[in-house]
Structure 1
Amino acid sequence: MLSYQHIYHAGNLADVHKHSLLAWMLDYLTRKDKPVSYIETHGGRALYDLSADEALKTGEAAQGIARVRHWFDSDHPYMQSLRQTSEKAGENSYPGSPMIAIQRLRDTDQITVAELHPAEHSALELALPTATCRRTDGFALGHAMLPPTPRRGLMLIDPSYEIKDDYDTIPGHIKKYARAWNVGIIVLWYPVLTSGAHHRMLKTLKNDHPDGARYEVSFPPARPGHGMIGSGLFVIRPPFGLAEQAAILKTRFDTLS
């Protein structure tokens, strides 16, 4: 349950998909002069060193952000976060989603991140001294916090899926979240797998939230036999313009081989 560490996968193509759209959504939320709440259920350590042995071992960052960085204009919110991170932490650094949230949000916004792994949580607190970082089960945090203050905002649910029951239990959590926070943007990341393990979860989510949007991209497996061949976001109450951004990104992923 506590074995997963994202450093092995940081900056991979799934991160590019997830983080670029997250950065865009946070930028969208801050266009209005009203505070927002950001809640993340599985935060990781927030800041990653892509020159670390763990990252080099898988080579996923080399196939990911290092390969496709040119996709994004300099003023894209994702590129702004990448640049801000490298300027502060070095050229081999990469921001996780909590770091992107800190960078894209304002002092008036509320940021709460959960991480259960003790070492990852310690690193998270060190990376985000101004955020509320809780060492707790992320799904439980969501139930305890909703609805948050301020009421506007976004929740990112980004589990490792190393607990196989997640595919069965996540829709129940999200159904309660959406009912408790009826104005919040709720974003679930999921892997697109050769096994098809994600299909039943998505069917349930779509039945429960017929207005929810599903954005997927495909990419080659990171190595022969690797089961993840794409990345997906299921978004409840997607902000205006997200579908267009996701479609543009998909055309770029479609060029990969």
Structure 2
Amino acid sequence: MLSYQHIYHAGNLADVHKHSVLAWMLDYLTRKDKPVSYIETHGGRALYDLSADEALKTGEAAQGIARVKDWFPSNHVYMRCLQQTHELHGENAYPGSPMIAVQTLRDNDVLTVAELHPAEHNALELALPTAKVHRADGFAMAHSILPPTPRRGLMLIDPSFEVKEDYATIPGHIKKYARAWNVGIIVLWYPILTSGAHSNMLKALEKDHPTALRHEVRFPPARPGHGMVGSGLFVINPPFGLAEQAANLKTRFDQLK
């Protein structure tokens, strides 16, 4: 299925959660001179216009980044990415995770991103001219390149969960990824749903990876009847200090009404 386009949800509270934590982790990795690999399995288009009709239709950005910018100091790496995006593309532009990676990493780091949707893939190629961009199934792409060179690095798995079987198959993929790349930081983003569709997946992941960091935040639904009421990150080999950063962010989310 190829109907999902993130422009309807770009800049929402789940993005604030995911992207602020991702930016912090990438900044952490670049504190050492050694090069890193960044891999993303479901890249989207990397750059979003929050004034587009699709974004305005859902209003999720208005309930998201537009509402909570003051959570982060101006020197936070996430804020620096937002500012750089605004300077280059206008005040209504928002960086997806591949763009945050480009803005945070260095010339000697290696970025590899997959996106299967044809229109999203074309936009991704235009947005990331220095990255290795694949029009491919992201899960299969990751299997084909792990372990990467350089070995130090991070992989973000950020599917739309449009394919409901993903909840059942993701633990198996991640178990193989972690075996192939035992030093890599492997990050799964998942929605917290009123249906509980994510619950069995999390049980399987925690059984396979008992030392991983599971970090979840809750927030009001973006609109009446919307089934997503939170955002989760499951992080294998979490970098030092991430648990504290995540706890501080959760405090902010807990204050939302």
Q: What's the TM-score once normalised by structure 1's chain length?
A: 1.00
Indicate the residue corresponding to 2:196 in structure 1: 196
Distance in 1 of aligned mates of 2:185 and 2:221: 30
Say which SS state the counterpart of residue 111 (structure 1) adopts: strand
Alignment: residue pair count: 257
Tell me the residue number matched to 1:207: 207
What letter matches 1:163 in structure 2?
V
Q: Are residues 1:17 and 2:20 paired? A: no
Structural RMSD (CA): 0.3
Match of 2:139 in 1: 139
* One-letter amino acid matched to 1:165: E
Residue identity matched to 1:26: L
Task: Determine the C-alpha separation between the residues in 2 that align with 1:47 and 1:55.
Answer: 13
1:81 aligns with 2:103: no
| Distance apart, 1:31 and its partner CA | 0.3
Aligned-partner Cα distance in 2 for 1:86–1:156: 24
Question: In the aligned structure 2, how far is the partner of 1:182 from the partner of 1:170?
Answer: 17
Q: Aligned residue for 2:163?
A: 163
For 1:234, the equivalent position in structure 2 comes to 234
Please tell me the residue identity of whatever aligns with 2:206: K
State the 1:224 CA deviation. 0.6
Compute the displacement of 1:197 (Å).
0.5
CA distance in 2, matches of 1:164, 1:115: 18
Equivalence for 1:8:
8
Match of 2:67 in 1: 67
Whole-angstrom distance in 1 between the partners of 2:152 and 2:125: 24
The aligned residue for residue 120 of structure 1 is 120
Q: Distance in 1 between matches of 2:68 and 2:148?
A: 36
Does the residue aligned with 1:221 lie in a helix, a strand or coil?
coil
TM-score (norm 2): 1.00
User: How far did residue 180 of structure 1 move?
Assistant: 0.0
Determine helix, strand or coil for the equivalent of 1:177.
helix
Counterpart residue type for residue 33 of structure 1: D
Superposition misfits of 4+ residues, deviation over 4 angstroms: none
Q: Secondary structure at the match of 1:141?
A: helix
Q: Which runs of 5+ in 1 are unaligned?
A: none
**Alpha-carbon distance in 1 for matches of 2:117, 2:198:** 24
1:234 aligns to what SS in structure 2? Answer: strand
Q: How far did 1:148 drift?
A: 0.2
Question: Which residue does the alignment assign to 2:254?
Answer: 254
Secondary structure in structure 1 of the residue aligned to 2:18: helix
User: Alpha-carbon deviation of 1:135?
Assistant: 0.2
- Structure-1 separation of matches of 2:122 and 2:251: 38
Q: What CA deviation, in whole Å up to 9, does each residue of 1:30-79 have, x standing for no partner?
A: 00000000000000000000000000000000000000000000110100
SS at match of 1:136: coil
Partner AA of 2:248 in structure 1: I
State the 1:225 CA deviation: 0.7
% same residue: 82
Equivalent residue of 1:48, what SS? strand
Structure 2 CA distance, aligned partners of 1:210 and 1:253? 25
Q: CA deviation at 1:85?
A: 0.2
1:43 match: 43
The CA deviation string for residues 153-193 of structure 1, in whole angstroms up to 9 with x for no partner, is 00000000010100000000000000000100000000000
